[in-house]
Structure 1
Amino acid sequence: MKIDLKNRVQKKWFAVITTVVIAELFTLWGIYGIKEYGVFLFFLIPFFIGAGSVLLFGFKNQVTLKEACKIGLVSVSMYALCLICFAIEGLICILMAFPIAAIFTSIGAVIAHNFTNRSTMNASSTFLILVAALPALSFLERDSTPDLTSVVSSIEINASPETVWKNVVEFPKLKEPKEFIFRTGIAYPVNAEIKGRGIGAIRYCNFTTGKFIEPVTVWDEPNLLKFSVAEQPAPLKEISFWDIDAPHLHDYFVSKQGQFKLIRLSNGNTKLEGTTWYYHDIKPAFYWKIWSNYIVHKIHYRVLNHIKTRSEKRKVT
């Protein structure tokens, strides 16, 4: 039997475009309607993209596993491109989310492939059930409380705690970063200054997107400087054709407090530990903590290495 290749291609694109349009509408509702960045956005919508596109194409058609996976990945790629082009998200956030989205898209495509090859006449009905089920499933994570996470980074400095302390409290402008991560729009520290001394002093840590305002809560010179975070800037500047101010840039990654701990070593050097306590209201937490912990460590080491360089140039004799 002769296969109408042109018709199959048209059906593929119909399936892809229809699924992507519906997924984009659900995404807008998730972000701006229920204001959730979680399983609905990163698991269920990608699953729907993979399953929905294959179900639509597989209606009264035989679909190979390779075709199913290809249709799913093309669909999720077009979905991601639309998020960028219509100023819904920026490039960096899309790249961070894409690995987990691609996995769940592929899972959806494989399940839909198995279903269509067993019961092709019910493919369209199953697609409609998926569309109807997504809104109900979107409320699974409502009112869940995010956990506070701590990230600790340390470095050894060839100087006394007294010398290191002077460079911990405040420090002048850092050099431009060489790390690739800071050239993608991720905010990074520029300098720090302080007004006052002791508990109640206000420390200002200036980042590329604004300043952290940090009231000092513990001033144990030269051992421990601890501070809360009263205000913080956006964690990144999106790379996009447009000036994007996505909701997740505000109140979804929240730094609560930080500290610098100076430990006098037996060889006369100082072990300097930097700690940040934060939470983010973006789920699944296990996945996003991989990214956020990595970025916080990079920010820590940018500051710690700067303190090390300055301290070792002016050791107390």
Structure 2
Amino acid sequence: MRLPSFAGVTRPSRYALIAPVLLLVPHAAVALLLRARGTPLLADAGFWLLPMRRLAMSPDLPAGDAAIAFAVALIAAGALALLSFRRANWSGAGYALAAVVVVPAAQIAVAAILAVLPRFEQRDGPGSAFAPGSDTAHVVQGVLAGVAIIVAAVLVSALTFGSYGWSLFVATPFLVGVTTGYLANRRLLLSGRATARLVLIAAALGTAALVALALEGFVCILLAAPLGAVAALIGGAAGRAVARMGQGGGKPLASVALLPALFALEAATPPDLPITAWASVEVTASPGAVWSALTGDQSIESGPGVLGAAGLAYPLRGRLLGHGVGAVRLGEFSTGVARERVTEWVPRRRLGFEVLKQAPAMEEMSPYRRVHAPHVQGYFETGRTSFTLFPLPGGRTRLDIEAHHVLRVEPVLYWEPLARLAIRMNLSRVLDDLKGKAEAGGRTARLSNARVS
């Protein structure tokens, strides 16, 4: 069975029937996942516009649910983009709208416009504008245009609007694919495989330009690469199909002009996803020994592992300036110093503090000392952290930690599992270090008491 192609056509009536179904697929997935977990669904305007964000906001979201929902959303967006390009082929217009239909906040409005778009007279029939082969000038144009879109998008989205969302991580690479695929094929038709290679080359050169211009570092690009590559390849297929139809007239390129509006829209409605993490460890030492280790200022001895290699922030040491509620605590991280205020102080039982000044969330790997990447500050923050000590039989102690964070980057279902993994690794490292120090301190105290006796 042959799969639908971007080069085909979809009539208005068929589009009006299928597009609403594809629009509702992510909503249905979210509703089913929430129902399976027994979480009530609030079907307000936020749910209808951004269903994935609503799922991400549910407490204790399992990583499996997040992966399923995100995969469903991407598949639905890809199918809607295919249907929308086929609809634009029928009308001979609307390619710019079809190219931005992958952005959730814009999907409903775009689909509504495409559903009523009339047919426009075409000067050229399908296939009259191409022959098999390649045109070096147009290939180079396509690659350079893709590079320019990536650099311009980061300058406008990240540095101007401070927006990291679907438009930057999905719509931009999709438009890179559309633009490169269309320009490279608009006179002589390349194979689908050759077009895909050109699209990936354009994306690779664009990301290399971001590093060269100190706009991004290697780690962020590496983390976003899988998502961007998929979107770019789909866009490349769409751009090639429009060129193959011989009726684009350059109209697909007009979609790039819509990016700033999408960036501004997402900047006005940023995500604010709370992430709460818990971890626990049993310590073969008394609560007093654990408390001493907790309030001490010794450095964490174990290495950071993967977090250090990736440049993500990891704790080095905590120093208390005073005692009791209101005291200042300095949290020394690999990226800087966080200033904290003690909010809970119950000796041998509970210690809590809130962050007043954040340390950068990461230090980008780059050939430059300073990278102009706003996401290292303010897009992932720590709020409150608390330690609770529970006495156990045999002079042992259970030490619990609870940490609250906020993530402000879309797509949240893509970035949240990565953030949770980094949090979990940091919490485990802290608890293991405290366990080692408390048990060593307890052994020292017992030896001292034995000598005195």
Question: TM-score with structure 2 length normalisation?
Answer: 0.65
Matches within 5 A, 1:203-222: 203-222=329-348
Counterpart in the other structure of 2:265: 140
Hey, what's the Cα distance between the residues in 1 that align with 2:315 and 2:374? 22
Aligned to 1:106: 233
1:197 is paired with a residue of what secondary structure? coil
Counterpart CA distance in 1 for 2:132 and 2:237 is: 24
Structure 2 CA distance for aligned equivalents of residues 219 and 286 of structure 1: 36
Out of 255, 265, 271, the position equivalent to 1:130 is 255
CA distance in 2, matches of 1:65, 1:4: 12
Pick aligned residue for 2:154 from 7, 27, 35: 27
- Which of 101, 118, 138 aligns to 1:11? It is 138
**Distance change >3 Å, CA 207–CA 178, structure 1 → 2:** closer
* Matched residue, 1:83: 210
Q: What is the deviation of 1:168?
A: 1.3
For structure 2, which runs of at least 5 residues remain unmatched after alignment? Answer: 1-130, 447-453
- For residues 9 and 276 of structure 1, what CA distance do their matches in structure 2 show? 55
- Kept in 2: contact 1:52–1:130 (CA 8 A): no
How many pairs align? 312
1:13 and 1:269 map into 2 onto residues whose CA distance is: 68
Say which one has the larger Rg.
Answer: 2
User: Do the aligned residues in 2 keep the contact of 1:226 with 1:260 (CA within 8 Å)?
Assistant: yes
Listed one character per residue, the Cα deviations across residues 52-82 of structure 1 (whole Å, up to 9, x for unaligned) are 1101112133233222322221111111111
User: Matches of 1:50 and 1:267 in 2, distance apart?
Assistant: 64
In structure 1, which of residues 264, 277, 284 is the aligned counterpart of residue 391 of structure 2? 264
> Secondary structure of the residue that 1:258 maps to in structure 2?
strand
Give the AA of the match of 2:262: L
Distance 1:64 1:266, change over 3 A: farther
Note if 1:199 corresponds to 2:325: yes
Amino acid at match of 2:163: E
SS of equivalent residue, structure 2 residue 257: helix
**Aligned-residue identity in percent:** 26
Cα deviation 1:33-59 (Å, max 9, x = unaligned) = 222111121111111111111011121
- What RMSD in Å do the two structures reach over aligned CA positions? 2.1
Counterpart for residue 92 of structure 1:
219
Q: 2:179 aligns with which of 52, 69, 84?
A: 52
User: Which structure would you say has the larger RCO, counting Cα contacts within 8 Å and 6 or more residues apart?
Assistant: 1
**Does the Cα contact within 8 Å between 1:151 and 1:276 map onto a contact in 2?**
yes
Q: Deviations over 1:179-220 (max 9, x none)?
A: 132133222211111122221121111112221211111112
For 1:16 and 1:233, locate their aligned partners in 2 and report how far apart those are by CA, in whole Å: 38
Partner amino acid, structure 1, of 2:184 = F
TM value normalised by structure 1: 0.90
Give yes or no for contact 1:59–1:121 (8 Å, CA) kept in 2: no
Local SS of the residue matching 1:244: coil
**1:138 alignment partner, SS class:** helix
Q: Show the counterpart of 1:170.
A: 296
Shift of 1:84: 0.3
Q: Tell me whether 221-230 or 267-276 shows the greater mean CA deviation.
A: 267-276
Find the counterpart in structure 2 of residue 234 from structure 1.
Answer: 360
**Structure 1 233/311 Cα, relative in aligned 2: closer, same or farther at 3 Å?**
same
Q: Displacement, 1:266?
A: 4.3
Tell me the distance in 2 between the aligned counterparts of 1:25 and 1:14: 16
4+ aligned runs moved over 6 Å, structure 1: none
Distance 1:266 1:300 in 2: 25
